[in-house]
Amino acid sequence: MLKTNLHIAIAHLLTGPFRFSILALLVLFIQGCATPVGIEPVDIQTGYQLNTESALSSGSPSEASKMVLRRNGLMDRFENEPEKVLAELHAELKPTGDEDKLFTLAELSLLHAQKTADHAYFLAAAVYAWSLLFPDDGQTIQFEPSDPRYRLTYDLYNQALAQGLASPEDGATEEVEVQIKPGIYQLPFGALDLSLDRNGLSWGGYNLEHFISTAFLEIRGFRNRYRSPGLGSTLAASISREHLAANIAGANRLGPQTKVPVTLLARFKQARSALATGQIKGQLALYANDQSKSVSVDGHVQPLEIDPTAAYAYRLNDNPLYSMEILNFIRGGLFAGAIPEDRAKDGLFTIYPYRPGKIPLVLVHGTASSPLRWAEMINELEGDPLIREKYQLWVFLYDSANPIAYSAGVLREALENTLNEFDPERKDAALQQMVVIGHSQGGLLTKLTAIDSGDRFWNLISDTPFDKIKVSPDVEALLKRTLFFKPLPFVKRVVFIATPQHGAMAAASEWVRGVVAKLVTLPQTMLRGLAQAAAATGDEKLLAKLRRPPTAADNMNPNNPGLQTLASIPVTAVPAHSIIAVDGDGPKEEGDDGVVAYLSAHIDEAVSEKVVRWNHSCQGQPEVVEEVRRVLLEHLATLSMAIN
């Protein structure tokens, strides 16, 4: 009755005297209303977000999963009854195919697990994703590579696996520690029986432990985060406190704070067909990224997901060496106290275990510094596939207040010790092609690996011929190591970065040198050696050295006879490259980096010289890293030409 009366009223209005005005108002009203179907223009970022959002990127289902929910009338129910909806979708899975629904189950299971912290649903998401990636018939994922779900399925598997095996105590803002152990794990639709391949649990002679997911770590301090997409959960593993066996070459040269980038896989057996029974079997396996870059699954090679930069940043996070650098310069010996008893005591450490066939690249830090200051360069060089394949990075840690010749002797001996440990029979030709790079004072140590000094340094401190003094064998060895230098036959190229070849500006100050001399603690072995030599000869020069033992600051005084002698001996045995920092825009010849003047760093014999506009701490700057990269590639090219 009401409807009939409304129709009569409208008809009366439209036939009355105001019909034209009313019709015009109706037209305007209709034009102002949105149509049931239409569009709304958006900017390019919003458009992309609408088409690519997912459980991983936005915490909402992807459009592909929403389509499955809408088709089945489950959109609203999933919000209110997610577990029932997931169970229904699982029960409706066909024995084969059904990729759309399988993807939806993987994504929505992970989404529900994120909201509830229920690890069973994380593991279910990993199983669903694996079933989609690797069907039982030996084929790979059926999505086209252009389908956004193709890569997203890998990411769902990788992250769901890490979260599914995470420690239950880990909170949203804490590190996610992954528990790698066999056992029966609950699934929403059954159980997961996981075994463990223990072959990947050791690395470089150590057990691996405390596996932290790097997918949930944000890094700072590096320009670039090098990671490669692939299969598996990326982890940073700690090494055990003590190595497993003394006969594993190089175990004692891995740093105590080492974090190993590894990738975790859970290989599920016949997962697609096993979804119907709810009884899934699988095996956990770990792959160290320096040893494996890919794996075979059902006869198909799959690249592993790797995230080495995150593991390296985790290693450097709160590293105690940072806080020791200045204090160690003053007191000496603190670095040695931070090294476990079972590690090498000569200061030479490797980033990764020794790998035959790779050329050693040795980095030597400067004054009041440590190997941590090479972090940016190490990350960049390790991020270069060719350099990573051809070179192995070593670092030298030393007390930088000690006399430069003394530290250089320690470096030389450490290099020889390392080669004897790694390759006692000299079968590895790559070890004989070493490149040594030194920053600041480290450049002076580097130079002393590549020159022939004869007896010039000895003559500066004694008027007695060295072969005429009578000292104990250990003191004789110390003096020879510290004062007599010949090119090391395995060092084939050297690079100097901001090196005070002719002295550092601050070291010219007598006041600065005096303060350093009063503060620093020099090695007793060196002082005892000088005392024994002085007692044996009665040499006044040696006695003067004992009364005022020289420090590295004395050695970098432009007027120091030892430095002047070193500067007078050119590097001719191997190619030498020079990278010089000059702060500011003025003429380089008049400039300096705040510590070293250009004219001090310049050497005529350098086969290349690169000037960068930066301060003294330039070793991590892009121009410096790129010049080092160029030199390393040149070194490879030279070796290739020599072989051919």
pLDDT in tens, 40-83: 888 888 888 888 888 888 889 999 999 999 999 998 899 999 99
Calpha distance 157→137 (Å, rounded): 19
Domain boundaries, the chain: 55-312, 356-517+557-643
Q: What percent of the chain shows pLDDT beyond 90?
A: 64
Reported as a single tens digit per residue, the pLDDT across 104-125 is 999 999 999 999 999 999 999 9
What residue spans of 538-621 are helical by DSSP H?
540-547, 552-555, 561-567, 598-601
Calpha distance 292→381 (Å, rounded): 18
Calpha distance 460→410 (Å, rounded): 20
Q: What is the pLDDT of residue 170?
A: 57
Q: Is the pLDDT of residue 611 over 90?
A: yes
Question: What's the chain's Rg over C-alpha atoms?
Answer: 34
Q: Is the pLDDT of residue 85 over 80?
A: yes
Q: What is the pLDDT of residue 493?
A: 98
Can you tell me the mean pLDDT for 613-633? Answer: 97
Per-state percent for the chain, helix, strand, coil, to nearest 5:
45, 15, 40
Is residue 185 within 8 A of residue 191, CB to CB? The reply is yes
Q: What one-character-per-residue DSSP string does 358-374 give?
A: -EEEEEE--TT--GGGG
> Across-strand partners of 363?
395, 437
Fold entry, domain 356-517+557-643: Rossmann fold (3.40.50)
Which residues does 315 contact at the CB level (< 8 Å), separation at least 6?
A: 236, 257, 258, 259
Calpha distance 404→236 (Å, rounded): 37
Q: What is the pLDDT of residue 457?
A: 93
Q: What is the pLDDT of residue 267?
A: 96
User: What b-and-e string marks burial along 364-398, b requiring 16 or more CB atoms within 10 Å of the CB?
Assistant: bbbbbbbbbbbbbbbbbbbbbeebbebbbbbbbbb
More confident site: 33 or 358: 358
Q: Is the pLDDT of residue 31 over 60?
A: no
Q: What is the pLDDT of residue 263?
A: 98
Q: Is the pLDDT of residue 19 over 50?
A: yes
- Tokens representing residue 367 in the block: 């004054």
Which residues does 545 contact at the CB level (< 8 Å), separation at least 6?
A: 461, 530, 534
Which residues does 59 contact at the CB level (< 8 Å), separation at least 6?
A: 111, 114
Please state, rounded to an integer, the average pLDDT across all residues of the chain: 89
Which residues does 247 contact at the CB level (< 8 Å), separation at least 6?
A: none
Calpha distance 581→567 (Å, rounded): 19
Lowest mean pLDDT, pick from 20-24, 330-334, 365-369: 20-24
Can you tell me the mean pLDDT for 360-374? Answer: 94
Q: What is the pLDDT of residue 340?
A: 79
Q: Is the pLDDT of residue 23 over 60?
A: no
Q: Is the pLDDT of residue 569 over 60?
A: yes
Q: Is the pLDDT of residue 197 over 70?
A: yes
Q: Is the pLDDT of residue 12 over 70?
A: no
Which residues does 566 contact at the CB level (< 8 Å), separation at least 6?
A: 444, 447, 448, 451, 453
Q: What is the pLDDT of residue 2?
A: 45
Strand 183-187 vs strand 177-178: parallel, antiparallel, or unpaired? unpaired
Q: What's the CA angle centered on 368, arms 366 and 372, to 5 degrees?
A: 70
- Tokens representing residue 531 in the block: 């005392």
- For the question of whether the overall pTM of this predicted structure is more than 0.85, the answer is yes
